[in-house]
Amino acid sequence: MTFFNKPTQWALLLGLLLAVPSLWVGMQLDDYFHWGLVTQRSQVLQTVSPASPYGLFSFVDGNPARVMDLMNLGLAPWWTYPQVEYAFWRPLTEVTHGLDYSLWPQYPMLMHVHSLLYFALMLWCGFRLFKLIQGESTAWIWAVFLFALSYTHGVPVGWLANRNAVLAVIFVILTLHYHHDGRETDRGLLNLRASLCFTLGLLCGEMAVTAGAYLFAYAVFLEKGSWRERMFSLAPYVVIGAAWLGMRSLLGYGASGSGHYVDLFQSPLMFLQVLVGRGLDLLGGLFWVIPPELGSGLPEIRRPVFLLLFLILLWLSWPLLQSDRRARFWLAGSLFCLVPVASTIPHSRLLIAASVGAAGFLGLFLQAWRSGRLAGSGPTKSLTAIMGGLLLVLQLGLSSLLLPMEMVSMRIVGDNYLNKGARAWDLGDIPRGTTPILINPPLSSAGGYINGVRAYLGLPVASKTWLLASGLQPLSLTVLNDYTFDLYSKEGLYDAVQEGVLRGPQAPFAVGDSVQLAGMIVTVMEVKRGVPVRARYQFAHPITSDYYRFSHWNSGKVTLCRLPAKNQSIELRVDSTHCAEPEAG
């Protein structure tokens, strides 16, 4: 059985065919930010990004003065935490984006072809690793198809800005490949090839930290020899990881102050608080093919159900885990991978590294089940058959259906929440000195994204654009006087869970807090769990003057909004075709 036999060729072909829709995704969200920085046409003030070619992933750097500049321009909303930081060191990934935006900046399809080449390389490296550890067996073939059809690859491959995950996982796989090869042959302390791949992976993105999860699982479950020798084999990677963390900190990269990103090393207690809930959502996504990003829309009972199903799987596979060190390695490695990625909001794209171990383990499980090595007879055998069938339906059937959908999901999000409105917003006739104000954009980062879309398309871009609230919830606007009005939403003026990227729960608002921008003061009047539900907006000039042009977001369009008279209110909804009439009474 050669490496590129017909099953592996079919697996590679199927994986790539299901990824073809990504060619029409175009540029979305952060991609415009990256394009602007590479081409020097970005309105976003650049951060100080040492040892980084373009600073593409240094979104905010914890500098309060820069955050204030961004809020004054409307590129960050007024509720942004002044010390928020999420700046990532991914220099090798930035080089690949630099090629895209320098060589073919107006041809996004070529950028996606570029990404597909990395995807094919990732699959090929994964196939080789499975063969190296599984041997020429049906377990290898199962693993190959499970990995090729995993829906968790969709967003990292289909969204240009998430390419770093694909690149990092390529080097994670190569690190494991060369480490295993070295431990099976000379067993020297320093494996230069594996160490180099681990280093290169870390320079592609934080996802490469998961190599440490697999290496630890390897030493515990797959390695032979004394415990001292096993732990000693990890020493070079510990040194490399510590050096990377130290350099990352020294250069000013990291994440803090955000509700999305919780840095284990900067906020360990907060990380532990979110680990269990996020971890169970990720577990459900990995084994039961429930995209973790859907979690907030599902009942809380989902997490106990995910755990119960996993415990049943664990019980049914116990004979395999007892007898096969490879199964223990793959399963433990995939579970360990969930820990570092739980530092951010659960999403299927975070499972790309864990999908390697899950495919390896489930390949062995399916082989053992089909060969009758899991259970003897009776109810346990029937339950094993049900579990095996369920995994086949979910991991090969449902996952393959979800993969192309995940590939284009960022296009769907971009079109529904941003692109149409950004293109259609009429900013060409706005007089100099007039500030366009978007009352209720669907995303808190819409200001920066809208300007990016418009700049890329060659459309007029406002020098600043203020955002007053965000999300899909209805808003009530009440004019108090010529300079002031209140906004109210019972669920909050922004979604703290889905849009907490710029302000985490560790920095709650309190009644009376105020944010003073250049020309507008926002005062928090009422809060709910630290999130403003009512805020007062006081402007430097009369709100009916030519200094401002108010608009609201409705059904993907931006529509001019005529404010009501003093002491009257209007209700704004994202599905409104115009500003509502003043409320009666």
Question: Which residue in the block uniquely carries the two structure tokens 């930010």?
Answer: 33
In a domain, residue 260? The reply is: yes
Question: Which residue in the block uniquely carries the two structure tokens 């934080």?
Answer: 206
Beta bridge partners of 514: 523
* Residue 160 and residue 256 in one domain: yes
* Residue 397 and residue 542 in one domain: no
pLDDT of residue 15: 96
Instruction: Classify residue 331 by burial, with Cβ atoms within 10 Å: 0-12, 13-18, 19+.
Output: buried
In a domain, residue 14? The reply is: no
* Residue 103 and residue 244 in one domain: yes
Question: Which residue in the block uniquely carries the two structure tokens 């909050």?
Answer: 492
How many other C-beta atoms lie within 10 A of the C-beta of residue 580? Answer: 18
* Residue 444 and residue 407 in one domain: no
Identify the domain boundary among 391, 413, 435. Answer: 413
* Residue 295 and residue 227 in one domain: yes
In a domain, residue 419? The reply is: no
pLDDT of residue 584: 44
The residue among 179, 513, 148 whose CA lies nearest residue 352 is: 148
Question: Which residue in the block uniquely carries the two structure tokens 């490469």?
Answer: 208
In a domain, residue 580? The reply is: no
Per DSSP bridges, beta strands 520-528 and 531-539 are: antiparallel
In a domain, residue 585? The reply is: no
Question: Which residue in the block uniquely carries the two structure tokens 């209805």?
Answer: 474
Identify the domain boundary among 413, 440, 463. Answer: 413
The residue among 543, 560, 564 whose CA lies nearest residue 551 is: 560
The residue among 204, 125, 87, 158 whose CA lies nearest residue 349 is: 158
3-state secondary structure 433-457: CCEEEECCCCCCCHHHHHHHHHHHH
* Residue 322 and residue 351 in one domain: yes
CA distance 115 to 273: 35
Residue 307: partners with Cβ closer than 8 Å, 6 or more residues away: 280, 283
* Residue 33 and residue 74 in one domain: yes
CA distance 475 to 493: 8
Residue 12, amino acid? L
What is the value of pTM for the model shown? 0.93
Beta bridge partners of 435: 548
pLDDT of residue 334: 97
Instruction: Classify residue 584 by burial, with Cβ atoms within 10 Å: 0-12, 13-18, 19+.
Output: exposed
3-state secondary structure 529-544: CCEEEEEEEEECCCCC
Beta bridge partners of 538: 484, 521
* Residue 501 and residue 564 in one domain: yes
CA torsion sign, 428 to 431 to 435 to 437?
negative
In a domain, residue 9? The reply is: no
* Residue 207 and residue 290 in one domain: yes
| CB distance 255 to 261 below 8 Å | yes
Instruction: Classify residue 39 by burial, with Cβ atoms within 10 Å: 0-12, 13-18, 19+.
Output: middle
CA distance 242 to 248: 10
* Residue 437 and residue 368 in one domain: no
pLDDT of residue 109: 97
* Residue 189 and residue 147 in one domain: yes
Residue 421, amino acid? G
Largest CA distance in the chain: 84
CA distance 211 to 524: 45
CA distance 311 to 317: 10
Report DSSP state, residue 584.
P
- Token pair of 532, please? 């403003």
Length of the chain: 585
CA distance 332 to 458: 50
The residue among 245, 133, 231 whose CA lies nearest residue 189 is: 231
In a domain, residue 230? The reply is: yes
Residue 537: domain span:
425-572
pLDDT in tens, the chain (585 residues): 455 578 899 999 999 999 999 999 999 999 999 999 999 877 666 667 788 888 899 888 788 888 898 898 888 899 999 988 888 999 999 999 999 999 999 999 999 999 999 999 999 999 999 999 998 899 999 999 999 999 999 999 999 999 999 999 999 999 999 999 988 887 666 789 999 999 999 999 999 999 999 999 999 999 988 899 899 999 999 999 999 999 998 998 888 887 777 777 767 777 788 888 999 999 999 999 999 998 767 888 999 999 999 999 999 999 999 999 999 999 999 999 999 999 888 999 999 999 999 999 999 999 999 988 887 667 888 899 999 999 999 999 999 999 999 999 999 988 877 888 888 888 877 888 899 999 988 887 777 788 888 889 888 888 888 999 987 788 899 999 999 999 999 989 988 776 778 888 888 999 999 999 999 999 999 999 899 999 999 999 999 999 999 988 876 778 888 888 899 998 887 666 556 554 444
Domain count across the chain: 2
CA distance 451 to 467: 13
In a domain, residue 3? The reply is: no
Identify the domain boundary among 413, 436, 468. Answer: 413
- Continuous H helices in 20-90: 30-38, 64-73
CA distance 479 to 114: 52
Residue 201, amino acid? G
* Residue 155 and residue 200 in one domain: yes
